[in-house]
Amino acid sequence: MAVQRAQADVFRPYGRKELAALLRRSSLTEQYRREAQAVAEVLPFRTNSYVVDHLIDWSAVPDDPMFRLTFPQPDMLPLDDRLRVAGLLDASASRALLGEAVRGIRSRLNPHPAGQLERNVPTAGRQGQSGEQGERGIPGIQHKYRETVLFFPRRGQTCHAYCTYCFRWAQFVGDTDLKFAGDVEPLVRYLREHTEVTDVLVTGGDPLVMSAGLLARCVEPLLDGGLEHVSTIRLGTKSLSYWPHRFLTDPDSEELLALFRRIVAAGRHLVVMAHYSHPRELSTDVALEAVRRVRETGATVRVQAPVIRGVNDEAGLWAELWSSAVRLGMVPYYMFVERDTGPQDYFAVPLVRAWEIFRDSAAQVSGLGRTARGPVMSADEGKVCVDGVLNLGDDEVFVLRYLQARRPSWVGRPFLARFDPRATWFSQLAPVSGVPDSSPWARLPGGLTPQGAGAGR
Ligand SMILES: *Cc1c(COP(=O)(O)O)cnc(C)c1O
Ligand code: SF4
């Protein structure tokens, strides 16, 4: 299909300055618009013409899931906070006064969730326990799991639109500076010495906001001699959803696809880790064509997203997402639990609810859709999957399992936690008393009850 480049295909980002005009597309109350504007002073807001014109159903706003996905909502902040900011805006308060109020509010939103600051910013120097000493002081690299290194290229630290739930929100408002991002030369030096690494995951932000030329400078050095152990290159991106034209009509779309083909031709497994939050993101012709073009290069596409209240907290939606993905030749991968940062009261789903959604979705799709795993929490020590809830005598317990761990020996071993219907994150869970084998608890930093101390592993 020859794709013509029309006006509508030119990337047009919208931010806080355009918010008032965008909100007039729908019959929202004056109060709603004023408070949403206040929220946009505190949390990042960025969307684009494609999301606004083709993904959001404006007749269903404010409940529309795609609207909730990218637009600031009043209830993302406590009432007091948003009224204070709205008041300052109404009074045309000075930037200094406004900035002071905004900083105070941000600091109460857990801007740097557990381990993120220390462990995702290698320059801060704190290390995991798996011998990844070499990462110390190398900006742009995180090496948490033995086989996989994350690479945050300096120029890929933004996105075509921002998700309201993004755990990198502090970075997008300029609160965390970008010193953790880096260049490819130190990465290559690191990888030459770390032959245990099989996967490099290029991530952000969204690395596909970079031009094809810049991306090539980040990725092609990984194809060099001496790095054959890096058999898989993954690109973490939401551009298939937020800006599918990236693969169709951007000035460098063909160059981008040619880069994908070169990676595949070099014998590497290229995986696009595609963030899709809702089946509607796979409903437009351009979205489908983008998937087809990426697959045609020989790349594999894997599909993942967090469960978010009011966006995708329904089993039917995940079943539809996974079966659409399979039909299009993509592979369902992770259903995440969103991290405990930002407006978490706004988006958080109880773990037990996330598990029910996962279970009921899996039940509705064929085995090929059940390659998805979850719900998964990316916690400090590893990726913890909620496998379910069991009756244990008179008690109910969560059955959990590490899918990934800083200590590889923890992977795949089930363990238990006390059932808590309100818990939304790992840190809120506690060991089960009287059960000797609740193993990883005993070794978690912060010294939770040494329940499993006898179950030495
Ligand atoms: C999820 C994740 C990875 C990749 O893990 P896989 O299970 O191989 O997809 C690597 N590093 C970090 C920090 C992660 O959170
Ligand atoms: S696409 Fe990913 S990095 Fe970008 S805002 Fe959404 S969750 Fe955050």
Q: What's the pLDDT at 8? A: 72
Give the rounded percent of residues in the chain with a pLDDT score beyond 70. 87
Instruction: Report how far ligand 1's centroid is from the alpha carbon of 382 (Å).
Output: 8
The predicted-structure confidence for 425-436, as pLDDT tens digits, reads as follows 999 998 887 665
Pocket residue to mutate for ligand 1, from 151, 331, 383, 385, most atoms within 8 A of Cβ: 383
93 pLDDT exceeds 70? Answer: yes
Which residue's CA is the nearest one to ligand 1's atom 10?
148
What are 327's two structure tokens? 């039909």
Which residue bears the tokens 């910013």?
121
The predicted-structure confidence for 435-451, as pLDDT tens digits, reads as follows 655 556 544 444 343 33
236 CA closest ligand 2 atom index:
2
Q: Does ligand 2 come within 6 angstroms of the Cβ of 46?
A: no
- 277, 55 contact by CB (below 8 A): no
As its CATH architecture, domain 112-340 has: Alpha-Beta Barrel (3.20)
167 CA closest ligand 2 atom index:
8
Angle (deg, nearest 10), helices 253-265 and 212-219? 20
Which residue's CA is the nearest one to ligand 1's atom 7?
404
125 pLDDT exceeds 90? Answer: no
Q: What's the pLDDT at 400? A: 94
- Domain residue ranges of the chain, discontinuous segments joined by +: 8-107, 112-340
The predicted-structure confidence for 169-210, as pLDDT tens digits, reads as follows 888 888 766 666 788 999 999 999 999 999 999 998 999 999
- 330, 237 contact by CB (below 8 A): no
What is the pTM assigned to this prediction? 0.91
pLDDT (average), residues 223-248: 97
Q: What's the pLDDT at 456? A: 28
132 pLDDT exceeds 60? Answer: no
Pocket residue to mutate for ligand 1, from 135, 145, 380, 402, most atoms within 8 A of Cβ: 145
The pLDDT confidence band at residue 414, using thresholds 50, 70 and 90, is confident
Return left, alpha or beta for 342; rule: phi > 0 is left, psi -120 to 50 is alpha, else beta.
left
Nearest to 397 by CA among 456, 360, 451: 451
Q: What's the pLDDT at 450? A: 31
Q: What's the pLDDT at 123? A: 38
Examine residue 251 and say whether the peptide bond preceding it is cis (omega within 30 degrees of 0): no
